[in-house]
Amino acid sequence: MILVTGGTGLVGSHLLYHLAQKNDSILAIYRTEEKLQHVKKVFAYYTENTDTLWQRITWIQADITDIPSLTKVFAHPISYVYHCAALVSFKPSDYMAMRQVNIDGTANIVNFCVDAKVKKLCFVSSIAAVGDSLHGRPVNEENEWNDNSDNHGYAITKYGAEMEVWRASQEGVPVVVVNPGVILGSGYWEEGSGKLFSQVAKGFKYYTQGVTGFIGVHDVVKTMLQLTESTKANERYILVSENKSYRDILNAIADALNKPRPSIGIGKIATEIFWRIDWLLTLLTRKDPLLTKNSARSSHNKTFYSTDKVKAALGWEFTPIEKVIKAIAKDYRS
C-alpha cells in the first residue's frame, strides 16, 4: 500500500491522480472535507471519469503533527510513502507553526516509517533548502546549507525536515529527496504559484527582475514516481525545468491568458519601502501581509540551478516552462 501525506495540496493531488491511474492501493491523509474538493477539481482537469479514480483512494482524516491519528494511518500495511505535506509561508509570525508541521511532523512520519520498515520514503523538499551559489556557479546538490540570517523561516524548516529524512536513511529506510523550484500547476488559484495566474488575470501590473528555478507539477510528480520505483536511494535531486526571471514568467502567463503584460518594474528600494509600510498596515488591520521582508528581497535575487544530476538519473528532459504555462492557462480559463 502507498501512503501520500499532503494529498490535498498541489503536488499531492496531482500525484494521487497518477497513482490512481496505475491501480495502486492508495492511502491518503486529509484534514478537512473542504480540502478534498480541491483534489476532485484537480482530477477533473485530467478526466471526466473522476469517480472511478477517486474510489481507488482510501482517505483517512489525520494530521502529521498528531501521533494518535498517525497510529491509525500506519495500522495499514504501508510499503511506500510520499511525504508531500508542508506548511508554506513567508510570514515571520508563522515560523513556529512551520517548525511544528515541517520539522516535527516530518520527524513523526520518519519514526512511523522506521517502525513500519517501509520500502522507500520520497520526500518533497524545496530549492529553499539547498545551499547558496558559490563563485557565481549554478547551485547543485553538493552546495552545503549556509545557516545565515538571510534564510527565511520556510527555508530553515524545510532544511530541518530534510535532516529528519536523512535520519530515516540512517535507520534503515531508503529515501529519495526532491528539491523542486517554484512549482507551477493547475487547481489552486488562490494560493502559492496559482496566485500568479489569478493576479495576472486581474490585470497585475508589476514585476521584478529576480531569477529562480521553475518547474511544472507534472514533471515533479513524474520524477517522484520514477525515483521511488527505481533502485536509487539516499540521494537528493534538484528539480528545475528552466531558470527564469519573474518578469519572463509573468509575461508568459499574461500572453497565455491574453492579458496585458505587467509593465511597471519595481526596484529594490521600492520593495524595501513597501514591505515596511505593509508591515505597519498588517498591525492595524490584522490582515495577512501582501509582502514580507524575505519575499521582497527574494524577488530580486538571481539564483540559477543545475539539473545535471536528475537528468543523468532519468535520461529525459523536463517540459519547457512556456509549454507548462500554456497548459495551466487553458485549465484556468476553463
128-135: long-range pairs with CB below 8 Å, 24+? 128/152, 128/154, 128/155, 128/158, 128/159, 129/155, 129/158, 129/159, 129/161, 129/162, 129/179, 130/179, 130/238, 130/305, 132/303, 133/303, 133/304
CB 240 within 8 A of CB 127: yes
Q: What does the mean pLDDT of the chain come to? A: 89
Spatial CA neighbour of 129 closest among 90, 179, 89: 179
> Which one, of 55, 73, 128, lies nearest residue 98 by Cα?
128
**Which tens digit of pLDDT belongs to each residue from 3-21?**
999 999 999 999 999 999 9
Mean local confidence (pLDDT), 66-89: 95
- Predicted confidence (pLDDT) per residue in 117-154, tens digit: 999 999 999 998 998 777 678 999 988 877 765 568 88
- Say if residues 82 and 4 touch (Cβ distance below 8 Å): yes
Give alpha helix (H) positions in the chain: 10-21, 33-46, 50-54, 67-73, 95-98, 105-116, 153-170, 194-201, 217-229, 246-256, 268-285, 293-298, 308-314, 321-333
Nearest to 181 by CA among 118, 231, 238: 238
Q: What pLDDT, on a 0 to 100 scale, did the predictor assign at position 271?
A: 67
Model confidence pLDDT, tens digit, residues 160-200: 999 999 999 999 999 999 999 999 999 999 888 899 999 99
Contact between 98 and 160 under an 8 Å Cβ cutoff? The reply is no
Is residue 283 over pLDDT 60? no
Reply yes or no on whether the pLDDT at 208 is more than 90: no
Which residue in 62, 44, 72 sits closest to 5, CA to CA? 62
Instruction: Please tell me the predicted confidence (pLDDT) of residue 274.
Output: 56
Residue 135 C-alpha cell reads as: 563563485
DSSP letter for each residue of 28-59: EEES-HHHHHHHHHHHHHH-S-HHHHHTTEEE
- pLDDT on residue 206: 84
215 Cβ contact list (under 8 Å, min separation 6): 180, 181, 182, 183, 184, 239, 240, 241, 318, 321, 324
pLDDT tens sequence across 240-251? 999 999 999 999
Report whether pLDDT(275) > 60.
no
More confident residue, 301 or 270: 301
**Which stretch, 19-23, 174-178, 261-265, 285-289, has highest mean pLDDT?**
174-178
**What pLDDT sits at residue 254?**
96
CA 318 vs CA 4, 154, 248: distances in Å = 23, 26, 18
Which pLDDT score, from 0 to 100, does residue 288 have?
A: 65
Of the pLDDT bands very low, low, confident and very high (cuts 50, 70, 90), residue 93 is confident
Mean pLDDT throughout 257-286?
72
> What is the pLDDT confidence band of residue 272, given thresholds at 50, 70 and 90?
low
| pLDDT for residue 284 is more than 70 | no
Do 329 and 253 touch, CB atoms closer than 8 A?
yes
The mean pLDDT of 60-69, rounded to a whole number, is 96
* Averaged pLDDT for residues 14-41: 91
> What pLDDT, on a 0 to 100 scale, did the predictor assign at position 277?
64
